[in-house]
Amino acid sequence: MIDEHRSRSVTRADVARYAGVSTAVVSYVLNNGPKPVAVLTKERVLDAVRVLGYRPNAAARALSKGSADMFGLVVHDNRSPFFAELCHTLDQRGTQAGRSLLIVNSDRTQADTAEQLRDLASRQISGLIISVALTASEQALVESLRLPTVVIGPFGETDALPAVSVDLAAGTRAAVEHLIEHGYQDIAFVGSAARYDARERGWADALSAAQLKRGLLIHTSFTYEGGYAAGVRLAEASPRPRAVFAASDQIAIGMLAALRERGVRVPEDIAVASFDGITAADYVWPRLTTAVQPLDQIADAAISVLLNPTPDPGLREFVPELRVRESCGCTPGRD
């Protein structure tokens, strides 16, 4: 039953009267403290809350506190497995700090990112987590919001905002160096065309350090479909590269499908290494050798920036760790 008038007119005092306790006790029960409440009293209060349809009003609290105990999170697409895992970890860690997570997908067709940022700010969020690339004007907008803010990821143009990132170049270099150690010489790159994405540079650096020529360069979208399209190009390339670095596990999985359908064997015909370390990387075949992003550390660092904003928080950068499985040609056992 929806009976908005009734629920809205019920106050904490009504609940206290119905339960035969003070309004302070009602608060203790609803806020789990600060003082303990006897079990039977607690049940009486919760019963009164239920019977009367009382809803403590976070909007009123937010108005008096100036904050709604929510973190706003802007991601490109929460379906991408890496972002789904990031959202989940941020939710877990945010909860420990008493914050809920308001998630916004920037790939919405109906609203531009600036509108979404303004909307989030208007909800009196107590912190803003941005995991998409911002334009200069969006960055200026974020600064003007004067909210505790943290950028997660390697989105270069956000120098003025505190950021938590992983060293994309270093992670990629480690993966490509591993492919080189296997003896592969013709190593392709599949990933982003964005200038802020240092993975292409990490690939090029590893090759030039080993005095190898750059292999085929394919720019694609960070989706299964994007990986599939890249796999088709690799399968049809002449000469075909002997190995390939894919900028995300999701791209690599799409690529594997296209190669398999064209009879190109991984790793025998073309070896694969990728980036992210999503759970699924351990369940596809061959299992992916991948530079693992330390999700827990990233989430903790990001939330710490929001809870303890300092005038000059700068950049916290983590280095991914290479996880070796079968896609590169190694033969480790499952742990």
- Stretch 248-307 residues interacting with a copy of itself (CB under 8 A): 253-254, 256-257, 260-261, 279-280, 282-285, 287
Number of neighbouring beta carbons within 10 Å of residue 201: 14
Nearest alpha carbon to residue 178 among 335, 326, 279, 334:
326
CB of 182 to a copy of itself, least distance (A): 22
Give min distance, CB of 8 to a copy of itself, in A: 5
Q: Which is nearer to a copy of itself, 140 or 209 (CB)?
A: 140
Listed ranges 118-126, 193-201, 205-213, 316-324: which one lies at the site for a copy of itself (CB under 8 A): 118-126
Q: Which of 147, 152, 288, 299 binds a copy of itself (CB under 8 A)?
A: 147
C-alpha 318/C-alpha 197 separation (Å) is 15
CB of 172 to a copy of itself, least distance (A): 23
Residue 48 · residue 15 · CB < 8 Å: yes
Q: Cβ(180)–Cβ(205) under 8 Å?
A: no
Cβ 27 to a copy of itself shortest distance, Å: 12
Query: 254-278 in b/e burial notation, b at 16+ Cβ within 10 A?
Result: bbbebbeeeebebbeebbbbbbbbb
**Binding range to a copy of itself, per CB under 8 A, among 11-19, 51-59, 151-159, 187-195:** 51-59
Distance of CA 166 to the CA centre of its chain: 12
Q: What is the DSSP letter of 280?
A: G
Among 189, 224, 245, 275, binds a copy of itself (CB under 8 A): 224
Contact between 59 and a copy of itself per CB under 8 A: yes
Does position 148 bind a copy of itself by CB under 8 A? yes
E strands, the chain, in order: 70-75, 100-105, 127-131, 149-152, 163-166, 187-191, 217-219, 243-246, 271-276, 289-292, 315-318, 321-323
Q: Does 26 bind a copy of itself (CB under 8 A)?
A: no
Amino acid occupying residue 329 = G
Q: What character string, x for contact with a copy of itself (CB under 8 A) and - otherwise, covers 90-109?
A: -xx--xx---xxxxxx--xx
**Interface residues for a copy of itself in 306-325 (CB under 8 A)?**
309, 311
- Residues 6+ away with beta carbon under 8 Å from 172: 198, 199, 200, 201, 202, 203, 206, 245, 247, 275, 291
Map the footprint of a copy of itself across residues 180-209, applying CB under 8 A: none
Interface with a copy of itself includes 157 (CB under 8 A)? no
Kindly report the number of other CB atoms within 10 A of residue 53's CB atom. Answer: 15
230 binds a copy of itself (CB under 8 A): no
Closest approach, Cβ 183 to a copy of itself, in A, equals: 26
**Taking CB under 8 A as the rule, does residue 156 contact a copy of itself?**
no
Is 56 a binding residue for a copy of itself by CB under 8 A? The answer is: yes
For a copy of itself, the closer CB: 213 or 334: 334
The interface region with a copy of itself, picked from 145-153, 196-204, 268-276, 316-324 by CB under 8 A, is 145-153
Question: Residue 275: which of 327, 210, 330, 207 has the closest Cα?
Answer: 327
- 325, with CB counted inside 10 A (0-12, 13-18, 19+), is buried
Q: How far apart are CA 278 and CA 290, in angstroms?
A: 9
68 contributes a contact to a copy of itself by CB under 8 A: yes
Does 140 engage in binding with a copy of itself (CB under 8 A)? yes
**Least separation in angstroms between CB 213 and a copy of itself:** 31
The residues with which 274 forms a beta bridge, in sequence order, are: 290
Which is closer to a copy of itself, CB of 51 or CB of 217?
A: 51
